[in-house]
């Protein structure tokens, strides 16, 4: 079974390393030249939950995937805004039974992915694992929680089971999601509050929890997200989700979310259009107003513009 990691930045290289370490035939693929060159020349240096490893994993540049390669499983880990170009590049390497796995943050990536493979071959999910790039070729992976995956259509369940098996063989704790859409929306609540607000207020998660006003911001965003989720037949209780978010912020207090790191630290463009922006768009499609999510999206874009984010 040939596996590709399409988008081998922080989380992609982490998942790739775990699969490779457990004997899978894995190829990393990425479009960022420094990362590609470093791993091709010196292998991947990775810190997994505090322990250092070094793996000589095959690494291909996105524009130079060997023409005869066909992948049985493709894990998608690009930034959301690069998903389409990554899918275009990997399209020639998809065969008629390839399974495409997407545990990316954000809403409705399947709308794009189903232009490349049918619904039954798309495995969608969410993960609580986190990762980062220290320097090109040197990354870290942290986590212990589940990787929840599920199918978009009932006939996809066998493919979901194949992916759960691969994840479990690789100590990535694959589980079949009991309610895939609910898990995705709950993750949107996490990212749509913590990522956006820590980036706007330039603070960590503990700081959000210290102020009743910031908690009110979390509540208002969550309220809208939960409301828009009903258009996806997902019914969450806003107070329960809010308590869950406050608890989560408490647990990982000193952490600065990835959007903060991208925007404030590295002056890179964010995935806001795929989180709060996607909530606002989906709300708009379904006549459920989400003005605060739209406002937050524009605030983040204003900051990107101000910081000349690339």
Residue 94 or 296 having the CB closest to its own copies = 296
Q: Which of 89, 151, 166, 217 binds its own copies (CB under 8 A)?
A: 217
* Given the residues 79, 187, 269, 303, the one annotated as active site: 187
Distance CA 272, CA 259 (A): 8
Can you tell me which of 216, 230, 231, 286 binds its own copies, judged by CB under 8 A? 216
Between CA 87 and CA 99 the distance in angstroms is: 13
Judged by beta carbon, residue 67 or residue 308, the one nearer its own copies is: 308
Residue 39: Cβ-neighbour burial (10 angstroms; 0-12, 13-18, 19+): buried
Q: Does 144 bind its own copies (CB under 8 A)?
A: no
Among residues 301, 282, 295, which one has the least CA distance to residue 109?
A: 282
Residues 274-293 that bind its own copies (CB under 8 A): 291-292
Query: Do 105 and 274 touch, CB atoms closer than 8 A?
Result: yes
Tell me whether residue 67 or residue 306 sits nearer to its own copies (CB atom): 306
225 near its own copies, rule: CB under 8 A: no
Q: Which residues of 231-258 are buried (b: 16+ CB within 10 A; e: fewer)?
A: ebebebebeebbebbbebbeeeeebbbb
Q: Work out whether 211 is an interface residue with its own copies (CB under 8 A).
A: yes
Task: Report strand pairing: 130-135 vs 138-142.
Answer: antiparallel
Helices (H), 202-290: 205-210, 212-229, 238-251, 258-260, 276-285
Shortest gap between Cβ of 230 and its own copies (angstroms)?
A: 18
Burial of 292 (0-12, 13-18, 19+ CB in 10 A): middle
Applying CB under 8 A, does 23 fall inside the site for its own copies?
no
How many other β-carbons are positioned within 10 Å of the β-carbon of residue 97? 11
Interaction residues for its own copies, span 185-204 (CB under 8 A): 200-201, 203
Q: How far apart are CA 218 and CA 173, in angstroms?
A: 29
Q: Report if residue 298 touches its own copies, rule: CB under 8 A.
A: yes
Q: How far is the CB of 242 from its own copies (least distance, A)?
A: 14
309 near its own copies, rule: CB under 8 A: no
Nearest to 113, CA basis, from 195, 243, 34, 6: 6
Q: Which is nearer to its own copies, 19 or 221 (CB)?
A: 221
* Stretch binding its own copies (CB under 8 A), from 3-11, 53-61, 232-240, 296-304: 296-304
Q: Which of 128, 207, 246, 253 binds its own copies (CB under 8 A)?
A: 207
What's the closest the beta carbon of residue 251 comes to its own copies, in angstroms?
A: 20
C-alpha–C-alpha distance, residues 39 and 29, integer Å: 10
Any catalytic annotation for residue 161?
no
Task: Tell whether residue 303 is a contact of its own copies (CB under 8 A).
Answer: yes
Q: Does 306 bind its own copies (CB under 8 A)?
A: yes
Point out the residues that are catalytic: 187
Chain positions contacting its own copies, by CB under 8 A = 200-201, 203, 207-208, 210-211, 213-214, 216-217, 220, 291-292, 294-296, 298-299, 301-306
């Amino acid at each position: 079974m040939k596996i590709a990691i399409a988008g081998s930045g922080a989380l992609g290289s982490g998942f790739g390393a775990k699969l490779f370490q457990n004997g899978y035939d894995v190829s990393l693929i990425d479009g960022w030249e420094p990362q590609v060159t470093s791993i091709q020349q010196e292998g991947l240096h990775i810190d997994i939950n505090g322990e250092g490893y070094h793996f000589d994993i095959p690494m291909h540049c996105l524009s130079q995937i060997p023409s005869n390669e066909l992948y049985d499983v493709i894990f998608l880990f690009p930034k959301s805004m690069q998903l389409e170009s990554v899918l275009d590049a990997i399209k020639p390497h998809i065969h008629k039974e390839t399974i495409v796995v997407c545990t990316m943050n954000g809403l409705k990536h399947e709308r794009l992915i189903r232009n490349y493979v049918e619904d039954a071959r798309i495995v969608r999910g969410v993960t609580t694992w986190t990762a980062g790039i220290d320097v090109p070729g040197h990354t870290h992976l942290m986590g212990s929680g589940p990787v929840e995956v599920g199918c978009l259509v009932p006939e996809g369940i066998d493919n979901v089971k194949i992916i759960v098996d691969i994840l479990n063989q690789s100590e990535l704790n694959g589980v079949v999601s009991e309610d895939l859409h609910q898990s995705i929306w709950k993750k949107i609540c996490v990212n749509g509050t913590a990522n956006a607000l820590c980036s706007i207020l330039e603070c960590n998660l503990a700081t959000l929890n210290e102020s009743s006003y910031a908690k009110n911001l979390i509540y208002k965003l969550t309220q809208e997200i939960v409301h828009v989720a009903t258009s996806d037949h997902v019914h969450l209780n806003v107070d329960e989700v809010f308590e869950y978010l406050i608890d989560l912020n408490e647990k990982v207090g000193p952490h600065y979310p990835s959007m903060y790191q991208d925007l404030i630290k590295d002056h890179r463009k964010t995935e806001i259009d795929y989180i709060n922006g996607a909530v606002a768009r989906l709300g708009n499609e379904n006549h459920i107003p989400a003005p605060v999510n739209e406002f937050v999206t524009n605030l983040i874009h204003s900051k990107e513009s101000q910081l000349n984010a690339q």
